[in-house]
Amino acid sequence: MRTFTKLLFVAALFSILAVACQPSNDGDASKDATTTQTGTESTKTKELEAVKVLNANLATEAELNGLGLTPELVTQILEQRPFLTMNTFDALLGAVENKEELYKKIFVPFNLNTTAEDDFKMIPGVGDRMAHEFEEYRPYTSIKQFRKEIGKYVDEAEVARYENFVFVPVELNSASEEDIKALPGVGGRMAHEFEEYRPYSNMEQFRKEIGKYVDDKELSRLERFVYLKK
């Protein structure tokens, strides 16, 4: 009887050791899931980066030449900017072939609150229906509102693509830093300067203060992005 009990004890001990020595897949499964998620996010980031469009007012001479434009046209663009509307830029290009393909690469962003519905159709991939939706939700108070409303109709990547072609003017004394930085060609440093001189009493004050950091052409470009409540 004592021998039988000892055998049972040894068998139970071997069973415990066998279970303990089995490799666990939980860590690998978790790692695989994390890797998959990271890979998906990385792919999405690359997709969003791929849709970046040159701003006709900010593109370098080398970037303009890289679009296949004639040297004469590149010179005209550099001399005549800033273009305060896409219509002015479009008129300069005149009869350039295959404008839709060109506008996938370079553009002057439209003011979402003032642009005519038909003009939105200059944005590659925007037809009658989407141009109507762009206008339907006016007035826009921030780019976040645009993302929310237009995100009802297209996916995140497409909304991000549209943002290359449009902007929402901001109220100088109340706009968040995020909304200021969303303006075309306005980065963190300039957003800080916009906020630094608050409150603005009039646009002349804005011109005076921001004119310390940029030339007259850039100042006139930035001025179209902002307003003051009356």
Task: Tell me what pLDDT residue 52 has.
Answer: 79
Query: Out of 1.10.150.320, 3.40.50.150, 1.20.1300.10, 3.40.50.300, which CATH number does the structure's domain 110-168 have?
Result: 1.10.150.320
- Measure the CA–CA gap between 92 and 76, rounded to whole angstroms: 8
For 185, counting Cβ atoms within 10 Å of its Cβ (0-12 exposed, 13-18 middle, 19+ buried), the class is middle
Confidence class for position 140, pLDDT limits 50, 70, 90 = very high
Domain 52-108 has CATH 1.10.150: yes
Domain with CATH 1.10.150.320 in the chain: 110-168
- Describe the crossing of helices 203-210 and 188-196 by its angle, rounded to 10 degrees: 130
Q: Could you give the CA distance from residue 222 to residue 184 in angstroms, rounded to a whole number?
A: 9
User: DSSP secondary-structure letter at 138?
Assistant: P
If DSSP states are collapsed to H, E and C, what string results for 6-53?
HHHHHHHHHHHHHHHHCCCCHHHHHHHHHHHHHHHHHHHHHHHHHCCC
- Among candidates 163, 115, 174, 107, which has minimal Cα distance to 139? 115
What pLDDT, on a 0 to 100 scale, did the predictor assign at position 113?
A: 98
Choose the weakest-confidence range: 94-98, 109-113, 164-168: 94-98
Write the DSSP symbol of residue 165. S
Rounded to an integer, the average pLDDT of 150-154 is 98
Confidence bin at 51 (pLDDT 50/70/90): low
What kind of architecture, by CATH, is found in domain 170-227?
A: Orthogonal Bundle (1.10)
- Judge whether residue 226 has pLDDT over 70: yes
Instruction: Tell me the pLDDT tens digit for each residue of 176-212.
Output: 999 999 999 999 999 999 999 999 999 999 999 999 9
Q: Does residue 23 have a pLDDT over 50?
A: no
Q: In this model, does residue 45 exceed pLDDT 60?
A: no
- Calculate Rg over the CA atoms of the chain: 28
Residue with the larger pLDDT of the pair 11 and 138: 138
DSSP for 58-84 reads T--HHHHHTTT--HHHHHHHHHHPPPS
Side-chain half-sphere CA neighbours of 52 within 13 A: 8
229 falls in which pLDDT band (50, 70, 90)?
very high
Say which residue, 61 or 42, is predicted with more confidence. Answer: 61
pLDDT given at position 24? 44
pLDDT of residue 230: 83
Contact 166, 134 (CB under 8 A): yes
Which pTM value belongs to this model? 0.77
Q: Across all residues in the chain, what is the average pLDDT?
A: 85
Residue 169, pLDDT > 70, answer: yes
